[in-house]
Chains A and B, each alone.
Chain A
Amino acid sequence: MGRVYGEPVEVQTREDGRPTGFTWRGRRYTVTAVQEYWLVNRNWWRESSPLPARPELEFWRVEAGRPAGTYELRRDIAAGTWTLRRIAD
């Protein structure tokens, strides 16, 4: 399944929210293709903060970088933050 990171990353997106590139550990990656896109509610019942208006997390599985690798990016819609979740082998 690859390596799991869970590190914050900086992501550039198109207007429709699709990532075009991201910067991770000082290196810039350009997104060449989106393989998958899906949504899952956050674990809102474990959180003490008030419920956000949009409780979803957005997942993008993309091809990026050279040589091409598969990366899974997660966006917390409420907070607007991105995380690099894992890198596929």
Chain B
Amino acid sequence: MPGPAQFTHLHVASSYSLRYGTATPAALAARAASLGMPALALTDRDGLYGAFKHVQACADVGIKPLLGADLAVSQGGRVTLLATGRQGWGSLCRLVSAAHAADDDVPAVTLELIAEHAAGLVVLLGPASDVGQAVAARHPDLARRALDRWRHLVPGVAVEVVDHLDHKSTFRAARLAELARDAGVPAVLSNAVRYLDPVGSLAAQVLDAARHLVPLGSPKIPPHNGRAYLAGPDDMTVVAKRVAAAMTGPGTASAAIGLLAETDELASRCMLDAAYDLGVGTHHLPETEGSAYDQYKELRDRCEHAILHGRYRTASAAGRPRGVSRLKAAQQARDRLEHELDIIARTGMAAYFLTVADVADRVRNAGIRCAIRGSGAGSFVNHLLGISAIDPLEHDLLMERFLSPIRATLPDIDLDVESARRLDAYRIIFDRYGAERTACVCMMETYRARSAIRDVAAAMSLPPDEIGAIAKAFPHIRAKHITAALTELPELRRSRLNDAQLATLFGIAQQLDGLPRHVAMHPCGVLLSDRTLLNRTAVQKSGEGFPLSQLDKDDAEIAGVIKLDVLGVRMQSAMAHTLAEIRRTTGMRIDIDAIARDDQATYAMIQRSETIGCFQIESPGQRELVKKLAPRDIADLIVDISLFRPGPVNSDMIGPFLRTRHGLAEPRYPHENLADALKETGGVVVFHEQVLRIIDVLTGCGLPEADLVRRHLSREGGPERTAPWFRAQALARGFDPVTVERVWQVVAAFGGFGFCKAHAAAFAIPVYQSAWLKRHHPAAFYAGVLTHDPGMYPKRVIIADARLSGVQVLPVDVNASSPDWMAEDQGNPSSGTDASTPATRPSPLGGPAAGRSPARKLMESSGPLQALRLPGRRPPEPAASPQAIRCSLREVKGISDAEIARIVAGQPYASLRDFWNRARVSRPVAEHLVLIGAFDSLYDIPGFPGAPNVRVEPRSPAPYPPAPYPPAPCLPAPAAPGPLSPVPLSPVPRPTRRDLLARVGVLARQSSPAREVTPALDLFTSVGPEAGDGMADLVPAGQLRELDPAERVATELEVLGFDVSRHVMSFYADLLAGLEVVSSAELPGRENGEAILVAGAKVATQTPAVRSGQRIIFASLDDAAGLVDLAFFESVQDRCAARLFGSWLLLVRGRVRRAGAGPMAVTVNGYECWDLPALEEIRVAGGMDAVRAAMAVGDVGPGTHQPLPPAAQATDVAAAGSADPAAPVTFANGFVLSPYAETGGPGGNLKHPPRNLWHASPGSTATPN
């Protein structure tokens, strides 16, 4: 062929063709450029998810983008559509939306739909089209008819010739080309690309299997051979010649040249201009009434009105920083408003602010809690408009961090709303702006290690059990780190996963790394645009029924569409529930956003680190930090939140900060001119805002420019590129070289880490609010937290904390429980349960009492609670608010919403039969309710004494193995006379829970599936449940043994997932006493460096970023008296990691480590650990000596001697990070990040204790599984 070969691929699937393509748009564009191609099309299957990534990638490598889609046609086959020009792109967006709007699950278009949207589109009819299929079936006449139909319907039609060297594919390609020639339709050549290189075909083959849910080798999967790669011009010329050589008839001599020329011609027609055709680089805001000037005027009016009426925090004395007078504050407010309005006018963003204010107003008017998050809190205009509760003048926040006249991108205003009502907030926005301007942002769920292993292993036909075991053996890491993790993580090194036969599986799984596998709704993003939105993005329906844009958050930015983040925050829901409970129980209406932010009782509680359940400050690390920092006001909370980040940890800011904070060192400033910027943090750089000021002071560049510099610093190589400019500017302004160097070191080390102070301020408000509610309305607070589960801990930890705070936890009761957790007055007769039997209400602590029970008061003064209480922990003052919480029905395993609704609607119930007939729950749910004691109050079944779930002191007689009614120390025995004991004076024999369980069985056999609603209630109420419902004749009371305490706890763990009647650790009292295990309450009294044993139920594991770059495993154990915080360093992980991740109840040997500043901050550095139930079995069988002998040998517990299945060793591994295992990430300042450190949020996945890890002790009959 003459001249240099040139070729443009017109049919290319990227990884955004879900479970089909294997190469990212960026990789494809880069390869195309390196092959010398002038342009590249992206024609993903069924969606435009990759479109803007492709446009960006092409711009980055300097080639032209083409866009299209490969769509299924409901009449049969698939066609590829290419967009020409702006009109074509709009048609494509609408056509893809239409494909997804079809009722069918599978996106598809009809011929008629294509005809309707044909403007600007070119249809490529390839081997997969009905035309190609007819050719393959050797029906040339049918093929011709199909082709003619397309030409009739759509103006732009071309035949697409593909030859992948499959069996007969060359023959078919030649026939298709002949058909095009004979019909006078242009024929183009493509390679129907699915991967970058031939080797990618294996992963593509696996994706085909995963997509069709069949194993490899299934006839559903077409044969693969590695030819659908991004071939270069020479390879494509070979294909063209091969096809031409197979053609017969006229014109075959020039057929190859013709194919390539037509391809080139069509490619040039379809090249798109990012700015003109796709609208990249312009902002598409919702249309508003009036001109830009009117909008600006309206914004100014509203802000000035707010200032005039003093509606900003620094207008009041409480909100003003010390030393600022009212007059000065007012002057500052006016100056700041002018400054911000000037920036807004210059950026033309007035409409944007008004839009967000409108959304925030409407959300709040619907009664949904709404708070600002992020840098938007730095804007005074946001505060004046009521979007933000934070006055930037109170906390010295900068507008420039949020919006500056020299930054082209749209600013982000993020709103936090109640998680339970997030979708309500979305509906408000959609109703206001209409579906033609609004859509949710999508996000891709991608392949990670576990999911990749699962899909590859399933494709390779491994047995399902084995697949689960292998996948779960891995922590939550990137798929590309699988092989490295096998050799680097101790818990995997000891497994048998390194077998050669698994190498192929892992090899392919690694290739799937990061490929999108599922489209999901982004948790918070909503697009707001003008009415051309649907010409600029395809939309589909989300699972929740919302229009879901195929733009992700980055694409939205490129496409110039406003993205409003409306994030559902569970803590906001928890606080809303708390406030509702306070209102319901006490009548108090608290405006939580208006409370004073200086309550000393609240700060005192935070300083004691009694922060479990509070927003942001409940993790072990944060509890340690608040102990050291001892926050006294909101400013301190802002610092606390900012310090607990990788950046400050990384730059070792915490130590110097604490030293100056506690007066141990004088604040040191790199230069006296920086004192103003750094005063608030004792000379340590904590906030982004401080970096801006430092750069501004040294270089005089102004704050907007300084923000650009700061952003630049966080990029790779940014500091190196910035240094010369910074030095030159600072020297020119007269700073001496030593100072310049010193400041530069600080700025460079800070990099882009650190924290936006405005963001921290936005966080500090809910932190304070949640702590205030915990301090002053604990029962309502715990009800809120347990209902909405906002934090990192499993519910059993919250429940234990509630008890330690003096809030009683009441069990599920069919007559008293609600769908949600409720605050309850212990003696509240209105709950309906104990109207008839007030003296025998089965409170775990004895009889009823108003407010706090006498039993509790007795115990607090003399009983074990006092000893177990953390030093300094004070019960809240007796308030008018309730002191108990009632477990919700929703916690019952297997219960449906409909069942909950029926139960609540039918309350109260007179008997089990009454409940069965009217609540109409399934038999398993009825059995679960019986087993966890939901009928105890109805039938007078006593709660066990000793039930306050507090671990009985080790040296006292243990209640295990359980006798039917074991007398517990320090607590009144049930039979003892006295006001505290239940009085079993019922004339009718009392049934046991087992009796009731048997009766459920009888009822289930008696009743037809569709139970009648029997209006028989009042027949029985007069005589009591036992005599009245006739069940006693069928299953007489007292025939079956009552559940013993161990069985009760086992049942609770199974049905509820947490232990209510007593703490799970109480069953190991003998063992713990024999080993002299130290309780968490005794830890503060232990010597630094002392070797001790601790034990408890694992409630959290974390592997956060720490300064040394090691992977340190942090774990917390709940031992009934509180939490023990453990750290395991890399040197011991070989020995401990598998046990630590694999077992739930643990015994750990370690050394006490006392952190410097605070007297209370105690951690145990673990170096040995054992499975507690396994040790208990040894003790029961062979006594304490056998236990000690077993511990001396080493690891004890399930999985010790059988490394496989690996699931037993390493389930529930905490989330690990995404850095490269072979090369830990090293930051410019020498900080090394462990490749397995978590880089996401705090957590670990222990929210639900492993129900099946409850041990099966000999003699226990109820062993949940």
Contact = CB atoms under 8 A, between A and B. Distances in A.
Contact of B225 (A39, A43, A46): A39
Nearest to B201: A41
B804 to A, nearest CB: 55
B309 interface: no
Contacts of B460: 45
Interface string A48-76: 10110111100100000000000000000
Contact of A41 (B167, B205, B461): B205
Contacts of A50: 500, 503-504
The 3 closest A-B pairs by CB, nearest first: A39-B225, A45-B460, A38-B167
Contacts of A39: 165-166, 225-227
A37 interface: yes
B217 A56 contact: no
A40 B217 contact: no
B225 A51 contact: no
B170 interface: yes
A44 interface: yes
B217 A41 contact: no
B158 interface: no
Interface string B170-213: 11000000000000000000000000001101100100000000
B923 interface: no
B1046 interface: no
Nearest to B501: A48
Interface in B199-250: 199, 201-202, 205, 216-217, 223-227
B169 interface: yes
25 contacts: A36-B170, A37-B165, A38-B167, A38-B168, A38-B169, A39-B166, A39-B225, A40-B166, A40-B223, A40-B224, A40-B225, A41-B202, A41-B224, A41-B225, A41-B226, A43-B217, A44-B504, A45-B216, A45-B459, A45-B460, A45-B504, A48-B501, A50-B503, A51-B504, A55-B202
Contacts of A44: 202, 504
Contact of B217 (A36, A45, A48, A51): A45
Contacts of A59: 167
Nearest to A53: B199
Nearest to A41: B224
Nearest to A50: B503
A64 B486 CA distance: 52
Contacts of A37: 165, 170
B670 interface: no
A51 B509 CA distance: 13
Interface string B97-118: 0000000000000000000000
Contacts of A53: 199
Contacts of B503: 50
Given A41-B224, A44-B504, A51 B202 contact: yes
Interface residues on B, range: 20 to 34
Contact of A40 (B167, B202, B501): B167
Contacts of B1243: none
A13 to B, nearest CB: 17
Contacts of B1203: none
Contacts, number: 60
A54 B201 CA distance: 10
Given A45-B504, A50-B500, A38 B201 contact: no
Contacts of A40: 166-167, 223-225
Nearest to B209: A45
A8 to B, nearest CB: 22
Give the most central of A45, A47, A56: most B CB within 10 Å. Answer: A45
A18 B216 CA distance: 30
A55 to B, nearest CB: 7
Given A39-B166, A50-B503, 9 more contacts: A36-B167, A39-B227, A41-B201, A41-B223, A44-B504, A51-B202, A51-B507, A55-B201, A55-B226
Contacts of B198: 54, 56
A38 B504 contact: no
Contacts of B227: 39
Interface residues of A, number: 19
A26 to B, nearest CB: 30
B454 to A, nearest CB: 15
Interface string B1152-1163: 000000000000
Contacts of A48: 500-501
A38 B170 CA distance: 9
A36 B246 CA distance: 10
Contacts of B501: 48
Contacts of B459: 45
A54 B227 CA distance: 12
A42 B748 CA distance: 54
A47 B205 CA distance: 15
A36 B168 contact: yes
Contacts of B216: 43, 45
Nearest to A55: B202
A64 to B, nearest CB: 20
Contacts of A36: 167-168, 170-171
Contacts of B167: 36, 38, 40, 59
Contacts of A43: 216-217
B460 to A, nearest CB: 5
B167 to A, nearest CB: 5
A75 to B, nearest CB: 13
A53 B199 CA distance: 7
Given A36-B167, A45-B460, A50-B500, A56 B226 contact: yes
A48 B503 CA distance: 9
A3 B223 CA distance: 23
Contacts of A56: 198, 225-226
A66 B469 CA distance: 59
Contacts of B202: 41, 44, 51, 55
B218 to A, nearest CB: 11
A37 to B, nearest CB: 7
Interface string B489-522: 0000000000011011001000000000000000
B165 A38 contact: yes
Contacts of B171: 36
Contacts of A54: 198, 226
Contacts of B461: 45
B1082 to A, nearest CB: 56
Interface string A14-38: 0000000000000000000000111
Contacts of B504: 44-45, 47, 50-51
A44 B216 CA distance: 10
A19 to B, nearest CB: 16
Contacts of B199: 53
Give the most central of A39, A47, A54: most B CB within 10 Å. Answer: A39
B85 to A, nearest CB: 39
Contacts of A45: 216-217, 459-461, 504
A56 B501 CA distance: 20
B206 to A, nearest CB: 8
A58 to B, nearest CB: 9
Contacts of B170: 36-38
A36 B173 CA distance: 13
Nearest to A61: B167
Nearest to A51: B504
Nearest to B459: A45
A55 B504 CA distance: 12
B482 to A, nearest CB: 15
A33 to B, nearest CB: 13
A71 B168 CA distance: 16
A25 B459 CA distance: 40
Interface string B957-998: 000000000000000000000000000000000000000000
A31 B225 CA distance: 25
